[in-house]
Amino acid sequence: MPSTGSTSASPDGLLMVLVQYPVPVVTKPEDIQANVDEICRMVASTKAGYPDLDLIVFPEYSSSGLNTKIWTYDEFLMGLDDPKVAQFKQACKANNVWGVFSIMEPNHEKGKAPFNTAIIINADGEMALHYRKLQPWVPIEPWYPGDLGMPVCDGPKGSKLAVNICHDGMFPELAREAAYKGANVYIRISGYSTQTQDQWIMTNKTNAFQNLMYTASVNLAGYDKIFYYFGEGNICNYDGRIISEGHRNPGELVSAEIFPAQADKARIHWGLENNIFNLGNRGYVGYPGGKTDNYLTWVEDLAKGQYKLPWADKIRIKDGWKYNPDGPQLGPLPENFK
């Protein structure tokens, strides 16, 4: 059975810690460096407190903050070759731990908005996974839609890891994509404020159950003088039940030991509620082997680039609305910026 809060792990148990990082207030580039330094310090201190720690996860925006006035200016972005990413790599290597980190990544195609990015670094300090947010939170976030799909990588203790970012988790299709590619641990890093707390918890549970995989989700916590961020990190079993959960405390560590092989066995041995298999093998009791044809209109239309809702012409907000009606402001920070 999964352990909650243990400092040690079984040979086949993956011990993880989710850090409810205090929401950072970022107004200048130096603030990002300070956050990176603190995150690396927390990697070391958490490993010291949890000697068998396999995986540590930090929320979306934990390095860059959520100041919408500076989100897309060059000085506040962080490429994969940035020295600050090198710090994350060194922290993982020095402490023999896998880590999930959030960066805002420049888009090298001229005139295009940056990416909201998550990276997974292994215990050798190497990049194991690079993900760009597929569903930026519209109509607020100015990020370019991700172009790397939903990658999956081999992780510690028999895990296969995928990561999604905040609003991505509201789309069951993305969780299904990760599971379809073999992920048995689906990590969600978020920077949500309290308006979406109930939906965030609900979707973490349903993403787990519908795909027979663990979900590990963590959100920023605290107050940035505009919004309150709810924390509420949680780790869900592959049957949708919460194994471990945090509260609203900034800096709280949410920990659990999970067993990826158990999720794999459920996918192989379950008959009842093996939803991910049954989706493409319908009614195998009445039709030997199950029907495998595509019966979903929206899947066919999306594949053709013709996805359109019956009420699409009536939808009122289809652009940046009041936040970025003319698109994001790109390039160097203006000299007169305040």
Q: What are the pLDDT digits (tens) for 322-331?
A: 877 888 889 9
Q: How confident is the model over 224-229, as a mean pLDDT?
A: 89
Residues 17, 53: contact at Cβ < 8 Å?
Answer: yes
Does 1 have pLDDT greater than 70?
no
Region 196-202 average pLDDT:
93
| Distance of alpha carbon 321 from the chain centroid | 25
Is the preceding omega at residue 139 within 30 degrees of 0, hence cis?
yes
CB atoms within 10 A of CB 239: 14
pLDDT for position 328? 87
Tokens representing 47 are: 């490993």
Mean model confidence pLDDT for the chain: 94
Give dist(CA 273, CA 285) in Å, integer.
14
| Dist. CA 69–CA 315, nearest whole Å | 27
**Domains in the chain, please, with CATH?**
14-314 (3.60.110.10)
| Active-site annotation, residues | 60, 133, 166
Q: What is the pLDDT of residue 338?
A: 63
* Predicted local distance difference test score (pLDDT) of residue 2: 47
User: How far apart are alpha carbons 41 and 122 in whole angstroms?
Assistant: 17
pTM metric for this prediction: 0.96
What's the pLDDT at 3? 53
% of the chain with per-residue pLDDT over 70: 98
235: left (phi over 0), alpha (psi -120 to 50) or beta: beta
